[in-house]
Amino acid sequence: MLDLAGCELSPQERALLAHPQCGGVILFTRNFASREQLTQLTGQIRQANPALLIAVDHEGGRVQRFREGFTRLPPMASFEALYNVAPEETLDLLKDTGWLLATELLACGVDFSFTPVLDLDFKRSDVIGDRAFSADPVRVAVLAGALIEGMHEAGMPATGKHFPGHGWVTADSHIAIPTDTRALDSIRRQDLVPFAQLARQGLDAVMPAHVIYEQVDPLPAGFSPYWLQQVLRGELGFEGVIFSDDLSMEGASVAGGFSERAQSALSAGCDMVLVCNNPEGAREVLGYLEQADLTLSPRLSRLKGRIGPLQDRSRQQRTAQRLAELEECAHE
């Protein structure tokens, strides 16, 4: 899965997307000007290669790539205060939020968002912070589960991140190589709980963290057969797609060059690797994959967005109003 430079395809990008080892596109804010333009861009991507998955990081709060013409989604941490006083109302709102998030993206040709964040908010990680639902692992599973239920209702798969948990480390894996010093028992009692619970409830995909859990394995989770095959697949029984996090991030540099990073991630158990903001790195990985003659995982076909119920304008408006009120309360 690779990225694009702007709001329409260049001839070079069109040729790159037709490469047999290209399996998807991830969109960023630089690829968005309006809903109409976004719909045209996803149409161009489909013309270049109908099999491609089209994804985006569209979580809410500070991680929402498309804004103009889309409902403003609050950070997921906003829902916990409401849950404390009105749990059933909160779960209903989260289900509607997942449905709305998915409905708006699907209408523009985007297959799925890399959401929800299942990390715990230990009040240590600035890069996670209010992207997390809570510090309580059981509560994270319940709240994220409601969001996922709404996404599924609209026809969109959900991706939990960042396995087995990015909330404890203070370093940002975009620019550093974070190390988590906790024992495995601690991680099992805390961070793994949402992943374990939601794996049993139909979570469609998982993205591992570029974090080294030094008391467990010397490799970052995304390059670790122990974490991906023994724990995620074996112990948790997860049968969905495993995406690498972006191989251009500093946290991935321990694996070597881009070809080595891709090889390590795929050997560890990833079904698809992401290379973003580095066109040369993306081309290097495509060249390596072509030589390796790898085939696309059959799991990936499950992530194609499905057209859900017809647009429900009243539900959209009602949910948007409730979300605006929630965010306003959070700022008071």
Catalytic one of 121, 180, 245, 271: 245
99-148 per-position pLDDT tens digit: 999 999 999 999 999 999 999 999 999 999 999 999 999 999 999 999 99
Q: Which residues pair with 161 in a beta bridge?
A: 117, 207
Exposure of 23 by Cβ count < 10 A (0-12 exposed, 13-18 middle, 19+ buried)? buried
Report which secondary-structure segment, H or E, holds 60: strand 58-60
Give the tokens for residue 91: 């779960």
All residue ranges of the chain with pLDDT < 70 are 173, 251, 307-310, 330-332
Q: Which two tokens stand for residue 279?
A: 């066109």
Report the pLDDT value the prediction gives residue 124, as an integer from 0 to 100.
92
For residue 127, give every residue at least 6 positions away whose Cβ sits within 8 Å of its Cβ, in sequence order, or none: 166, 172, 173, 174
Report the distance separating Cα 18 and Cα 37, nearest Å: 21
- pLDDT value at position 39? 96
User: Which pLDDT value is given to residue 309?
Assistant: 54
Is residue 245 annotated as part of the catalytic site, yes or no?
Answer: yes
Is 131 marked within a binding site? yes
DSSP per residue, 113-165: E---B-----S--TTTGGGSS-S-HHHHHHHHHHHHHHHHHHT---EEEEET-
Cis check: omega of the bond before 116, within 30 degrees of 0 = yes
Give the pLDDT confidence score for residue 255 in this predicted structure: 75
Instruction: List the one residue out of 265, 204, 209 whose CA is nearest residue 238.
Output: 204
The reply, when asked if residue 313 is annotated as ligand binding, is no
Output the pLDDT for position 176.
Answer: 74
Residue 57, marked binder: yes
The confidence score (pLDDT) of residue 253 equals: 83
Q: Is 210 labeled as catalytic in the residue annotation?
A: no
Q: How far apart are CA 203 and CA 124, in angstroms?
A: 26
Q: Consult the annotation and say whether 92 binds a ligand.
A: no
